[in-house]
Amino acid sequence: MTNFLDPAILFFLFGAFAGAVKSNLEIPSQISRFLSLYLLMALGLKGGFALHKSGFTSEIGFSLGLAIFLAIIIPIFGYWLLRRSLNTFDAAAIAATYGSVSAVTFITATQYLDQFKIEYGGHMAAAMALMESPAIILAIILANKARAAHSRDLKIKQEATSVSKILHESFTDGAQLLLLGSMLVGLVSGDAGQQLMAPFSIDLFKGMLAFFLLDMGLMAARNFGGLKGKPPITVLYAIGSPLFHALLALLLCKLIGLPLGNTILLMVLASSASYIAVPAVLRHAMPEVNPALYMGMSLGITFPFNIILGIPIYTIIAKYFM
């Protein structure tokens, strides 16, 4: 119940209501872009400052390794399951969307943990960055193979070029570079840098997040309609997969012995779905798929579920088992 009284969550609900009643309320795209970059920069700085205090440990290595493993196994399993009901391109696009992560969901989760004084490692921001790309690369490979099966004229060189281009775009993406660069700045500047940047990266953070979630609420309401006429498996997957992925992450964290805060954040990352990075790539790399499909699922269903209910549920489950 406490989550529903959080101003940021209330602004998200207000935005969803405004979008549902077709209000002309709108956040200019450039402002929305600025807010997302600010949140990533502030998150990176916070992670860097925390890393400066803790240093690099074996726990950090296990956390990052597990994050990469989840980013590979989740889209593979998702594609295998969805391929039974959908065509190759739709299955690959959805698997990539749900194999990647949502930065805003992660940022909201960190605020939730801060609110309840649950400690977590600053390196988890790096885990988020590492989990963005594997699913995208896998989807491109699957799409190329599907095209090759329909056209013998497709050359192997073209496939390799496509994958290399995706790799380059994934590792040089501006938002991801900003996150990692900010983390490096926080790591190098340490306590002195934290004191100087506190008014920017800490004091303003909650208000900026609330404003951004207002915009996300508007977008969620407007993308939900994209699921009309889609196969039932898409709605079931949008609701069921976050819970399954979170439980998978919990099991692996329990086996490795990660602390509570890091476990919750890995559960959140595993359960989230991309609505920015992956759709931006898929629009060009997989034009065979209607963006309304994966955008309607990730932004219309999964994102609101995780923001409103998922994060508290994952926290309760993790506390019980850890």
Q: What is the pLDDT of residue 160?
A: 41
Q: pLDDT tens digit string along 122-179?
A: 889 888 888 877 887 777 777 777 666 656 544 444 444 455 665 566 566 676 678 7
d(CA 310, CA 305): 6
Q: Among positive and negative, which fits the CA dihedral 168, 169, 174, 180?
A: negative
Q: Give the amino acid at 164.
A: S
Q: What φ, ψ does residue 21 adopt, rounded to 5°?
A: -90, 10
Q: What is the mean pLDDT of the chain?
A: 84
The DSSP secondary structure of 154-212, one letter per residue, reads --HHHHHHHHHHHHHHHHH-HHHHHHHHHHHHHHHHHHHHHHHHHIIIIITHHHHHHHH
Per-residue model confidence (pLDDT) at position 134: 85
**CATH assignment at residue 248:** 1.20.1530.20
Domain span holding position 229: 2-19+28-321
Q: What is the pLDDT of residues 194-251, one digit of tens each?
A: 899 989 888 888 888 889 889 888 888 887 777 777 788 889 999 999 999 999 999 9
The token duo for 147 is: 């095209």
Prediction pTM value: 0.83
Q: Structurally, how many domains does the chain consist of? A: 1
Calculate ∠ Cα 46-265-185, nearest 5°.
20
**321 has pLDDT over 70:** yes
